[in-house]
Structure 1
Amino acid sequence: MIGFSYRSGVLHAEGVPLTAIAAAVGTPVYVYSTEALEHAYRAYAQAFEGQDAGVCYALKANSNLAVIRTFARLGAGADVVSEGELRRAMAAGIPASRVVFSGVGKTRTEMRTALEAGIHQLNVESVPELEALSEVASSMGVEAPIAIRVNPDVDAKTHAKIATGKKENKFGIDWDHARAVYARAAALPGIKAVGIAVHIGSQLTDLAPFRAAYTRVADLLHQLREDGHDIRRLDLGGGLGIRYKEEAPPDLPAYADMVRSITGNLGCQVTLEPGRSLVGNAGVLLSRVIYVKQGLHRRFLIVDAAMNDLIRPSLYDAYHAVLPVTEPVSGVEIAPIDVVGPVCESGDTFALQRPLPALAADDLIAFGSAGAYGAVMASTYNTRPLVPEVLVNGDAFAVTRRRQTVEELLAMEERPDWQG
């Protein structure tokens, strides 16, 4: 992982030992590397140099304001799926004119907020949404710039819970109905269809599904232009995978060449919406060992992080490397152990029979590749406050979201009058 390495026997985030962060901030804590974030963004910018392509960071992967601001300073736009994410993007310095609003369930309030802000584009995913947007835009006396998200019925060959481009998925307009929906859009007041959008899933490690989807989109573009629609934008979504264990993610220059080969002569501006591939390997979840428990048949490493802090292993059976913060010495004995959290659920398990060196209470570990879908998916289950987030830059680090307190959680609730 770029930005994370062992130095003098201690795991560092850039120039900062993780032991120093644990001492200053406590654990559990998310730690992100500015170097890794910037490297990932520049890799996209360089791969697509010379193409009419823009990068809109998908906030759903990690919506920490300091992370978004890091990308904003490099020229990124944003892909958002709620009014809250739109407000986060703008608060971090990304103007609404560089924001794409996606999602299947936009409310009329969210539509109005986006149009008032001067949104670059709304990606429409159903006829009822299209008609609702027409009503909102007409009442405001404006035209809503839209792309219609089409479902190309392409198997992304990824986890079922993060696949979005097949007929049985809830996303987008069925391929066979796309032309009719564009015709409907052209007849509605307050609607200006400017593009086509597609997104087939997340954590893809093969270019073939992308190629199949983008080829279908290019074919649709020609049909729509024949129908009289002036389509000048192609939103190709995100979905490039990262390496968690042994995956071999697509090479970015090869991906860019494939996009160019399909879209280069279409006269369209291309929008890319990477999320995981920008932040996934730029963060770790730092945790401390509470106990080592010897069971009848196996050993358990019980740590202070839990499924409410990082739910991916429980939700997706996802793999995250478990890295001792103190570098194991050469030749040290390695033995299998279950790495688990303190939440009262059997699903609160990070790793089963993971080969690790001997660890003891108070030792520190880091869960690797935790920059995407970690903190953003966290909850307060078991009344466990949300953990802090830290951004490292060289030899400096800053808390970019402080640790929530139990008192703050309790203060959000009120006693009914009848309870006295």
Structure 2
Amino acid sequence: MQRNSDPGRDSWKSRWGFILACIGSAVGMGNIWMFPTRVSRYGGGTFLLPYFFFVIIIGLSGVIGEMSFGRAARSGPIGAFGDATARRWNNRRLGEAIGYIPVIGSLALAIGYSVIVGWILRYCAGAFTGATLAPGSVDGFSLAFGTMASAFSNNMWQTAGLAITFIIMVLGISNGIERINKIIMPLFFFMFFGLAVYMAFQPHAAEGYRYIFRIDMKGLLDPMTWVFALGQAFFSLSLAGNGTLIYGSYLEDTEDVMGAAWKVALFDTLAALLAAFVIIPAMATAGSQLDQGGPGLIFIFLPNLFQSMPGSNILITVFFVAVLFAGISSLINLFEAPIATMEQQFGMSRRTAVTVMTATAFVIGICIQGMVAGWMDFVSIYICPLGAGLAGIMFFWVCGWDHVRDEVKKGRKKEPGKWFSFMARYVFCGLTVLVFILGIVFGGIG
């Protein structure tokens, strides 16, 4: 059986370099502008209980699976899916054709995310110059964001964000992606921890903490609490059949994937909790209710709130620098599967592949500035769950369980227990189907 691998292929230089890169791929806008909103909307601790439940299940099944699948194939989704169908049916082309689905989804997400990173970069620069806090009222902040988010209104900053991403990606896995994540991910956690400590000393912050940890049994019986907890956990862990899989493909056989997976799930959850510990107490301090998530939260309501607090200029600067780190790390990951596809399937050099993908994102991204919300909704509802489900089926079912067990136990002293087979094959694959269906029914749950 042909194996789609390259002995000269780049790889991670350290275990924590890989883990921090995976954490960077998972920590994104969902942690910052969606998680606190859902914690607020669905009863604080009432939402956290099902969220933790799903993080444990998905982290100990889907995340392990995608990491192991990529490492086994030494390839992105196209090569990995091709390996699976070649192993089962001696038909590599079938798997490779299916593998284009998550790769296209990854590129589409990267294009949309490049627009958002452009917004963040503009507000980050404005935090240093004072422009971000200049509007002075919620209506002013709303007008400023609406103007920026309209068609062809943020070309310069979007281009600058792509240029930064290009430089990191063209340097490769170890010299680019690993090195930058070793710097920006610890800084991200340090900055958000500092913001959380600051908020703890603000008036009425205790009310926000009490809300975060309250548990309402009636809320636990509400099916929507569980639906959106599932969606939050699923999308927060960066499962779409591409990002975690492609990062796993650069991992050495001596590394313990199961150990890495729970660390990624843990730190992704900590990032989301830190965001909640910053935003919910801040809203309690202002006597406001956190009703709106998404871009409006971080570009309109939080700047309006921060401007009334002591040290507002420092506060807004730290916040947007940390958010920029989260955005860049996620954007890099989204580009990697399409870049690896250009390298492996079409024989391009890394520099050429990065150039082609960045140029594609630039052209399309500029054109969708005014409709990026609909673009991202379509991809997250229809393509991401499908990609994750296909990756789960390909690895856990098509490859055969003996192969799965052998790949997962690499780098470990003992093989995974019987619980892993049931959780991976039935629970995780079932959840991906459920996320796909529920996303369509409710217009998105991620």
TM-score by length of 1: 0.27
| Structure exhibiting the larger radius of gyration computed from Cα positions | 1
Higher helix share: 2
TM-score by length of 2: 0.26
Relative contact order: is structure 1 or structure 2 higher (C-alpha 8 Å, sep ≥ 6)?
A: 2
